[in-house]
Each structure stands twice: as C-alpha cells, then as structure tokens.
Amino acid sequence: MEREPDPQYPINVSVVSPVYGCAKCLPELVQRTIKSLSEYANIEIILVCDRSPDDSWQVIKRLAAQDSRVKGILLSKNVGQHHAISAGVKMATGKTTVVLDCDLQDRPEDIPNLLEGLGQGHGVAVAKSSFRGKKGFRRNVARGLYFKVLDALTGNRKGNAHLSISFFALSAAAREAFNTYPERRRHVSAIVRDIGFSMQYVPIEHEEITDNKSSYSTRKRINLAFDGVILHGARVLKYAVVLSLSLFVVTFAAIGFIVFTKLTGSQSLPGWLSTIALLLLVVSIQFLTIGIVGIYLSDILTEVRARPGFLIEETT
C-alpha cells in the first residue's frame, strides 16, 4: 500500500546522489532506489553530474527521459562532492531528503531504514558502519583517527568515528537549515554536525565495490580532511594557543633547569644539541600558529567575496 504524500510536500522522498565517474552504475542505482521506495506514492531522484569525465550526463538525460521521477543537474564545472551534494539538496522538494553516493557501496535498500530513523522524531538520520571495503584497511584506520579528531574538535563524546556522512537523511526542517549554510569552503560532515538537530544513527552494511576506482586520490582525501579540521575554526585556534602556552611552560622550565645547574655548579649538558632542538621546536610551533591564522584570513577573503559554490549549466 502506497503512502500518500503530505499536502504540504507533494513529494514524499527526495533522493540526492552526486555523480562522478559512475555512468555504468546509474541505471542500477535508479532501479534499486525506485524499488526500495515502492511504498511511497511520489518520489524524486536527483542526480547531480559534477562534470564527470565519462558519459554520465548522457546517461542521466536518458534515464530522466524514461522516468519523470529522475531529475538531472549538470554543474558548469567540477566543484567536488560536497558542493554537488549541496546543489542537489538545494533543489530537493520532498518531505524527507536522502543523500547517498552513486557507486552503490551505499545500498539503496537501506534508504527505508534511514527514513524509519527520521520517523522516530529525529531531524537527521546517519548511516553507521565500520566496513568501508576489504581493500581499504589503512584507509579505515586513517578515517577512524580523522573522525576521532573531529569528535575532539566538536566536543562530541559519543565516539561516532565510523559515521557514513555520504549516506544520510534529512527532515524538511533539517534540509532548510542545511541550505542556510552559505560558506564557500564546504564540508557536508561539518554542516550536518553543526545544524544541531537530533541525530539518529542507523546501522548498515556497505557493499564491496570492485568495478569502480574511487575518484578520491590520496591528495584529495588529505585536502578534504584538512578542510574538515579547519572548518572547526575556533577550537583549532584554541588548541593552537594551548599548545603555544604549553611550549612556553616547557621552555621556561628548561631555562630554570639551566640556571639551576649553573648556580649549583652541577655538570651542564654537553654541547648545544638540546638548545638547538628546543629552539627549533619553539620556532616550528610559532610558524604553525601563524600558518593557521593565515589560512583563516584567506578563508575570510573567500567568504567575503561570496562567490557561488556551484553554478548549474543544464537540468532535465
């Protein structure tokens, strides 16, 4: 039995998927998504082509021509997954909005589980899984450490180090809140964590993907992780200040020890290695702090310019 749409929201569910290098996956993605949401009267599947180098846009247009529930968006240039997700969420009109990757590692069959999590009175439902592929053990470890750092920066004590922020659902109110974040340096994980809505974590299992190579190189992953840390600005600067103060205490204690050994006639440490090492440590921390401040000044300039994060060239 189909669920009738809410009069305020004619579309029951909007499914948003950023597309890059996954032309072969798209027909199966659409088919499995429609099947998993068969109990809903009205749905829309928004495929955002982030200037994929393959024929993804042609496939999207063909799928949209075959099924009116499929809607395609072609961005004017490649802006990255997070801006592509934001473009799709901005265009979504459903009562609930689901975001998932196009590579089918996130299973469309788990979408109802996320919607059930929202139905329990939560504004955000996030897929939670410790499995990200058999071939990525080192990546899983690095990912876990990264989210541990984010938990420390955000003050999160729940230890959600394995949250799949690429697979989540938003209520209408949470989507509207998400769309009010205008920053040019965009990180979906940081925004979802910051909007403050009650969050439900839904256990899922990821599928092993063998046919497609990830579009994220090691360099891109490092840049993305760096952006995620920098976006928690105030806490990063506070930690830098604490580190600088701690170094000052260590330096003051070292000076006191040197003076004490001189006054008591004790044998001093031979050579200048310890002094040089301490000096280099002080200088490195100073440069680190200056660099962090410089990054924020650059980001301030970027945000003041208020250039759009994405531009839409064509839609179906």
Q: What pTM value is reported for the model?
A: 0.71
d(CA 315, CA 47): 10
Cβ-Cβ contacts under 8 Å for 64 (sequence gap 6 or more): 70, 71, 72, 316
Flag the least confident range among 79-83, 177-181, 205-209. Answer: 205-209
Is the CB of residue 312 less than 8 Å from the CB of residue 87? yes
Closest CA to 150 of 129, 165, 135, 133: 165
Answer whether residue 297 shows pLDDT above 80. Answer: no
Domain locations in the chain?
13-217, 233-305
Residue 139 has pLDDT above 80, yes or no: no
Please determine, for residue 162, whether its predicted confidence score (pLDDT) is greater than 70. Answer: no
DSSP per-residue string spanning 101-122: -TTSSS-GGGHHHHHHHHTTT-
Dist. CA 109–CA 113, nearest whole Å: 8
* pLDDT reading at 61 higher than 50: yes
Q: Return the exposure string of 294-310: e unless at least 16 CB atoms fall within 10 Å of the residue's CB, then b.
A: eeeeebeeeeeeeeebb
DSSP-H helix ranges across 45-161? 56-66, 81-91, 111-118, 137-154
Specify the DSSP class assigned to residue 40: B
Choices 3.90.550.10, 3.40.50.720, 3.90.1150.10, 3.40.630.10: CATH for 13-217: 3.90.550.10
pLDDT tens column, 274-285? 676 667 677 767
